[in-house]
Structure 1
Amino acid sequence: MKLALLAEQAAGERRVAATPETVKKLIGLGADVAVEAGAGAGASIDDAAYAAAGAGIGTRAQTIADADILLGVAGPAPDSLAGVKQGAWLVAGLNPSGERARVDAYAALGIEALAMEWMPRITRAQSMDILSSQANLAGYKAVLDAAAEYGRAFPMMMTAAGTISAARVFVMGVGVAGLQAIATARRLGAQVSATDVRSATKEQIQSLGAKPVFVEKVAGIEGEGAGGYAGEMSAEYQAAQAELVSAHIAKQDIVITTALIPGRPAPRLVSDAQVASMRPGSVIVDLAVEQGGNVEGAVAGEVVVRHGVKIVGHRNVPSRLAADASALFARNLFNFLSAYWDKDAGRPVLPADDEVGEAIRLTRNGQVVNPRLAD
């Protein structure tokens, strides 16, 4: 069974879908691993390290030829997969909702596309969840990016020349990224508060030493979404939250927004008027900028200034920590492949009725088969 590691083609993508550590483990399962030359360069992994782990190094065409499984971070361009074997698996983050035409092209190629970001949030799949592993690093990096743009110190400092007040950091959206942002800002000495539409996160916020900011006594909250994600809010809750947040955000030095709803544009959390209420020199980091943004005025790939406030909209934040992000992503993929490895077949086998398979399988036998992509 041949497994191929592809070099990423997307602009700015520095991650890689397998590391020498996971290559060695895959070979231990019985796979032959081929690595496209230069695949790990962005994550500071050279070809010699893959070769030392037992992989073969070659061109893209050589890597793809006769491969049973293709590994990638992002979905490769279909026209770059010339010569791919019929029925081969493509295991990567495929952005199915945003790249539907590309999914159709994968079906036309006859490959079985498996979207790892649609991994169900169930206990046995936690170690395979690329969204969680990458969001953890994104939350950490968001705080560092905020600190780099902020013209003041984070911790309170008592000096002979006087006292410097601690920075006030407000985290909006307390999923994996938000929790890591809270923890990181606290470690840097900031005074941290946070909010979310899911009431269950209140105790998590408090456990990290931050102050929860929640709307109380409002009926019709629908924030508890499926699979641990946030859902839609009622109109009454939205109005109450906007009023509460407006009063709170005006007092903050740094705001980090992380809110996403799967399959929908990112919810708008911070208006232009709220940006204007912050003091000049404040910083907002919008981690949802590539899905439309939580912050009015945020621009994907840019740091813009509005009303004297910097709004940071870096794309692909996990890739800004490429080495660690690659290590975690690669382990997610290995955990998935090893969990379904059939020793008799000498390859992973994903049963048709398996909950994980049903969730992540996009194409099979030339057809788009995932119900979430039904027209």
Structure 2
Amino acid sequence: MRLAVLKERRAAETRVAATPDTVKKLIALGLTVAVEAGAGASASMSDAEFAAAGAEIAPDAKAVLAGANVVFAVQMPEAEQRALIPRGALLVCVAGAFGDKDLVPSLAAAGIDVAAMELLPRITRAQSMDVLSSQANLAGYRAVVESATAFQRGFPMMMTAAGTVPPARLFVIGAGVAGLQAIATARRLGAIVSATDVRPAAKEEIKSLGASFVGVEDEETAKQTGAYAREMTDAFRQKQAELMATTVAKNDIVICTALVMGRKAPVIVTKAMVESMKAGSVIVDLASDAGGNCESTVPGQCITTPNGVTILGFNNWPGRISVASSSLYARNLLTFLTTFWDKEQKAPKLPETDDIVKGVMLTRGGSVVHPNFLPSQAA
């Protein structure tokens, strides 16, 4: 059985879906592994390292996909590459299915079985396969490092013979995996940190990391459960906006991480709030790929507003720490495949009744199988 590792082609994508270490483990399962030439270059993994691990190095997408039974990728391959994937092959990647209504039907028509790893259910036995958590953790860390670079006043309090440098005040919006890592990293750098989230459970998590909690607490927030926030009412958003306006204005750095699964990111930091910040302040928008939490964010760009606020809206934040993010992502995929590997048949076995399989499978056997993407739902 042949497993193909594609070179990523989408803009700003620097990660790779396998590493030399995971290649060795995939081969140990009984797979023949082929890696497209240059697939790991942006993550400091050479073709020679993959070859030394036992992989075949294929010159292009056509060669690597020829006869493939399983395909590993970071993002959904472009249409040109998808056309080369054999019918019946299993494609494991972050599919981005919510952003393209025509994608899932086209995958079914092509006969590609797709495991969309971003749809993995948040259950205990799936934690080691959770690509969103592994990547968000690194993104939260990177956000603080990038903000420290852009901020020209320093993070910790520094007392010198020439005077005292005050500590930076940093505010984190959204206390999911990325937000909590941002809090922890900023605290280690010596900043005074506060954070907000609409989920009640997040309050204690924020405080446990040494940050202060800022938030609207009412009957609506009490209904928020799970790893992702749900859409809030207009009344709540108004109360939240008033609180955010005063909080953003008194902070030096704001890190935005708020996402709603399958929807455009909510706008939390308005242009007026940006205008209220001091010159030299920094906003880091980790939600830029989903439109951004800051109204002034330009996705994919770093800008400075007329009042001197720097807004970092880079795309693909995990890709800005490509070696670590590739390593964790590759392990997530390896764990997924190993969990559903039939040792006797030396092939993946994906029981339709398994909660993880039900959660991630978009298409199977030429049909759309995920309940959120069935034709009746699309209509």
| TM-score after normalising by structure 1 | 0.96
- Report the number of matched residues: 373
Q: Aligned equivalents of 1:361 and 1:212: distance in 2? A: 38
What residue is the counterpart of 1:271 in the other structure? Answer: 270
1:223/1:232 contact within 8 Å kept? no
The CA deviation string for residues 327-350 of structure 1, in whole angstroms up to 9 with x for no partner, is: 000000001000111112211111
What residue is the counterpart of 2:348 in the other structure? Answer: 348
What residue is the counterpart of 2:309 in the other structure? Answer: 309
2:175/2:257 contact within 8 Å kept? yes
What residue is the counterpart of 2:166 in the other structure? Answer: 165
> Are residues 1:95 and 2:96 paired?
yes
What residue is the counterpart of 1:290 in the other structure? Answer: 289
Q: Which amino acid aligns with 1:371?
A: P
1:219/1:237 contact within 8 Å kept? no
Q: Aligned equivalents of 1:281 and 1:97: distance in 2? A: 37
Q: Which amino acid aligns with 2:25?
A: K
Q: Aligned equivalents of 2:193 and 2:210: distance in 1? A: 8
Q: Which amino acid aligns with 1:308?
A: G
Q: Which amino acid aligns with 2:321?
A: L
**Greater mean deviation of Cα atoms: 299-308 or 189-198:** 299-308
**Greater mean deviation of Cα atoms: 277-286 or 359-368:** 359-368
The CA deviation string for residues 251-310 of structure 1, in whole angstroms up to 9 with x for no partner, is: 100000100000111111111111111111101011111111111110001112223211
The CA deviation string for residues 19-39 of structure 1, in whole angstroms up to 9 with x for no partner, is: 011000111111111111111
**Displacement of 1:148:** 1.2
Identity across the alignment (%): 54
Q: Aligned equivalents of 1:83 and 1:292: distance in 2? A: 31
2:200/2:221 contact within 8 Å kept? no
> Are residues 1:133 and 2:134 paired?
yes
1:116/1:130 contact within 8 Å kept? yes
**Displacement of 1:105:** 2.5
| TM-score after normalising by structure 2 | 0.95
Q: Aligned equivalents of 1:241 and 1:365: distance in 2? A: 46
The alignment partner of 2:98 has SS state of coil
The CA deviation string for residues 17-68 of structure 1, in whole angstroms up to 9 with x for no partner, is: 0001100011111111111111111101011111111111112222111111
Q: Aligned equivalents of 1:275 and 1:83: distance in 2? A: 47
Q: Which amino acid aligns with 1:273?
A: A
**Runs (5+) with no aligned partner, structure 2:** none
- Taking the TM superposition and a 5 Å limit, the aligned residue runs for 1:183-194 are 183-194=184-195
The CA deviation string for residues 73-102 of structure 1, in whole angstroms up to 9 with x for no partner, is: 011113224443221000001100113323
CA 61–280 in structure 1, closer or farther in 2 if over 3 Å, else same: same
What residue is the counterpart of 1:209 in the other structure? Answer: 210
> Are residues 1:219 and 2:234 paired?
no
What residue is the counterpart of 1:72 in the other structure? Answer: 73
The alignment partner of 1:35 has SS state of strand
**Runs (5+) with no aligned partner, structure 1:** none
1:75/1:93 contact within 8 Å kept? yes
Q: Which amino acid aligns with 2:233?
A: S
After superposition, the CA RMSD in angstroms is: 1.3
What residue is the counterpart of 2:238 in the other structure? Answer: 239
